[in-house]
Amino acid sequence: MSETVTATGQVTIPKDVRDQLGLVPGSKVEFRRRPDGVIELARDDAAREPSRFAQFRGMLGPGLSTDEVMEMTRGDD
């Protein structure tokens, strides 16, 4: 299969390749050069690893509004 590179250097990844790699909008991909000079396209699994703090996201609720924080820092009553 072949694709055409646009003037801005973009190319469409065929759907069957996206499906095989599990790529969805926002996925990161990596280009790797093999010793024989061939370039491979792979899903960037490092980008998929959650932050060590991800488990805590959302635990405290929505938090204070900007106005509430400004009142606290200015001492407005």
29 touches 39 (CB < 8 A): no
Q: State the pLDDT at residue 46.
A: 63
19-71 per-position pLDDT tens digit? 999 888 888 999 999 999 999 999 887 655 667 777 777 777 788 888 888 88
Which pTM was predicted? 0.53
Domains and CATH numbers, the chain: 1-49 (2.10.260.10)
pLDDT at position 56, please?
A: 78
Q: In Å, what is the CA distance from 71 to each residue of 58, 63, 64, 68, 74?
A: 23, 14, 11, 5, 5
Distance of CA 64 to the CA centre of its chain: 27
